[in-house]
């Protein structure tokens, strides 16, 4: 579901008006209206605040099908020529990309290490600032299979 629909549904489920939500977020009612109409979208950090106010998982506020991503770094497998990871015997592992899982070994030992090393690639691909890329990855990575505890 697109962000605009997710936001409106979550707000209405809590019995809040656009004005109520705006006051809790310290934004104008018009800002909430523009989000719900799809005219603009809030930043990653604002989505985190919205999730807290509406008591929903922050990942719900992103239109992301986690099953279509590398389960370690979050790179979409829709990227052209995206190679899958490999097991020790060379067989393909379709859950991971080659850069995260090669020859049966994971390249990153912690979420922080992954984010530090891969945020620059996200910045380059999307035009996000470093702060936005790190914040977004901080939301996404814990929902990927490799990092779930």
What pLDDT score does 80 carry?
Answer: 86
What pLDDT score does 149 carry?
Answer: 75
When divided into structural domains, the chain yields a total of: 2
pTM of the model: 0.84
Task: Grade residue 1 by pLDDT with cuts at 50, 70 and 90.
Answer: confident
Q: For the chain, what is the radius of gyration of the CA atoms?
A: 18
How confident is the model over 71-101, as pLDDT tens digits? 999 999 988 889 999 999 999 999 999 999 9
Together in a domain, 42 and 112: no
Report the residue count for the chain: 149
Together in a domain, 54 and 83: no
Together in a domain, 70 and 141: yes
- Taking CB atoms within 8 Å and a gap of at least 24, the contacts of 41-48 are 41/3, 43/132, 44/132, 44/135, 44/136, 44/139, 45/135, 47/139, 48/135, 48/139
- Domain span at residue 19? 3-61
Together in a domain, 73 and 123: yes
How confident is the model over 11-38, as pLDDT tens digits? 999 999 999 999 999 999 999 999 999 9
């Amino acid at each position: 579901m697109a962000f605009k629909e997710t936001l409106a549904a979550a707000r209405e489920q809590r019995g809040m008006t656009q004005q109520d939500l705006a006051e809790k977020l310290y934004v104008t009612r018009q800002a909430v209206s523009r989000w719900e109409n799809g005219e603009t979208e809030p930043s990653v950090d604002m989505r985190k605040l919205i999730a807290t106010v509406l008591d929903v998982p922050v990942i719900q506020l992103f239109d992301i099908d986690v099953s279509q991503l590398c389960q370690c770094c979050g790179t979409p497998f829709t990227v052209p020529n995206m190679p899958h990871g490999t097991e020790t015997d060379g067989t393909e592992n379709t859950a991971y990309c080659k850069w995260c899982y090669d020859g049966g070994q994971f390249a990153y030992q912690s979420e922080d290490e992954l984010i530090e090393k891969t945020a620059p690639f996200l910045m380059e691909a999307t035009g996000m600032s470093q702060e936005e890329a790190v914040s977004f990855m901080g939301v996404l990575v814990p929902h990927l299979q490799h990092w779930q505890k």
